[in-house]
Amino acid sequence: MKLVLGSASPRRRELLGQLGLVPDDLRPADIDETPLKGELPRDYVARMAREKAMALECAADEVILAADTTVTCGRRILGKPENEAEAAEFLWLLSGRRHHVLTAVAVRGPTGLRERLVDTIVKFRPLSNEDVNGYLASGEWQGKAGGYAIQGLAGAFIPWIQGSFTGVVGLPLAETATLLAASGIKGERA
């Protein structure tokens, strides 16, 4: 079976490498990622992963891996900030609080669609003006759900997490390895 990653994310490719897997093809799904009115964060992220997996062509010898990650604070979905002002708003909202990072994984192959949703609780320490302005100046917030990257400079803002570190980065490895193995894809280290 050939592995097709339904994403252009370099982080997801790196994480697959930790399982000893290199995708045979990269096919980012082009779907509307707008949350539905009143849609809860868990439902939203699961729908995004599923829609990405289903939007891609899948040959008989291929397995599609798609995922979606979102940050939630209460019922609010914090997607990728559109600009620096929105990134600052997100960082101040998360400052000194716990929030959830939801990553949904969908694997589609000849045997059907398999899905998992991983919920990780992340705690930010209280941030200072210097913290927020320095992080914004780094540009690392760009293209990141919630406006931060735990594996980068923002790791210094996070005293603890409960759940999957790799899920916060963008692909929960234990759950992904299980889903892929059930579809006939096993890495060297899985």
Residue-level pLDDT at 187: 78
Domains of the chain in start order, with CATH, are: 2-182 (3.90.950.10)
Q: Could you tell me which residues come within 8 angstroms of residue 142 by beta carbon, excluding any fewer than 6 positions away?
A: 80, 81, 87
- Residues classed as catalytic: 68
Closest CA to 123 of 146, 152, 102, 94: 94
Residue-level pLDDT at 189: 54
Residue-level pLDDT at 190: 43
CA angle 158, 163, 6 (to 5 degrees): 100
For 74, 85, 103, 164, the CA distances from 122, given in Å and listed in that order, are 13, 22, 13, 10
- The DSSP 8-state label assigned to residue 6 in this structure reads S
pLDDT tens digits, residue range 20-67?
A: 999 999 999 999 999 999 999 999 999 999 999 999 999 999 999 999
Prediction pTM value: 0.94
* C-alpha span between 95 and 115 (Å, rounded): 32
Q: Which residues of the chain have pLDDT under 50?
A: 190
Q: Nearest 5°: phi and psi at 60? A: -65, -25
Residue-level pLDDT at 19: 95
